[in-house]
Amino acid sequence: MNPLVSDTAIPNNSPIIVALDFSNIADTHNLIAKLDPRMCKLKIGKELFTIAGPKFVEQLVVSGYDVFLDLKFHDIPNTVYGACKAAANLGVWMVNVHASGGAKMLSEARRAIDESAHKPLLIAVTVLTSMNEADLKQIGILDGVDAQIKRLAKLSYDNGLDGVVCSALEAKMIKECTNSNFLTITPGIRLANSAKDDQTRIMSPKAAIENGADYLVIGRPITDAVDPTAILVEILQTCHPREQI
């Protein structure tokens, strides 16, 4: 574990996770220079991680940010076990895997985190929002998107995961088929006056929280803003932050 994590981490109960969807480190630094770790968490996905690497993740953690390492691990159980241990050792706040990797893979991911000194939240991806019913049929899933989401959310819950990434529109349904404490991490969030971009099923921050979302993943409405802090303040004022877990 990064020895500096516990000394420098700033308590943060913001429900906002800013998606760092940048293709270079300079643009990422420009945005982070305008942010404050007490107002938001940060999400690093496959593109930025591949460019910037684990040292960059550790730097953000040391700067006091809660980091969601969004690498969506999906492999044989032994490999996912190792990957989750490595992620935990970076000091990240949240890590995720694909629920479709199955029960053995999920329970090995759980074991990896449980055995680590620092224990990030362990989250599953159910059905990618880019996939529709026809896409699922092509891979042999015939009973529709909602049935598959519920099946994989329940599998994740039964294997000890802490929650799932889902649309805010699905948050209530997921809590109903699992547990009210099962976390929902929801992208597709838009303010009344922000562009929809390529998102189709969107919700406002307030509506998402009211529908059961625990954390809101927000990218372009914040990263493209001239004053990202003003947008963060606006969002935080419209929803009540949940307690830090």
Q: Is 164 an interacting residue with respect to ligand C5P (CB under 6 A)? A: no
* 175 noted as active-site residue: no
Residue 19, strand partner residues = 43
Q: Does 163 bind ligand C5P (CB under 6 A)?
A: no
Least distance (Å) from ligand C5P to the CB of residue 2?
Answer: 24
- For helices 77-89 and 103-115, the axis angle rounded to 10 degrees is 30
Q: Work out whether the CA dihedral 19, 20, 22, 27 comes out positive or negative.
A: positive
Among 18, 19, 32, 155, binds ligand C5P (CB under 6 A): 19
State in angstroms the smallest separation of the CB of 138 from ligand C5P.
19
Which residue in 34, 72, 85, 172 is the catalytic one? 72
- The per-residue DSSP string of 17-62 comes to EEE---SSHHHHHHHHTT--TTT-EEEE-HHHHHHHHHHHHHHHHH
Smallest distance, ligand C5P to C-beta of residue 56, A? 17
Asked if residues 83 and 56 have their Cβ atoms less than 8 Å apart, the reply is no
Q: Is residue 187 a contact residue for ligand C5P (CB under 6 A)?
A: yes
Site for ligand C5P in 24-63 (CB under 6 A): 45
Q: How many residues bind ligand C5P (CB under 6 A)?
A: 13
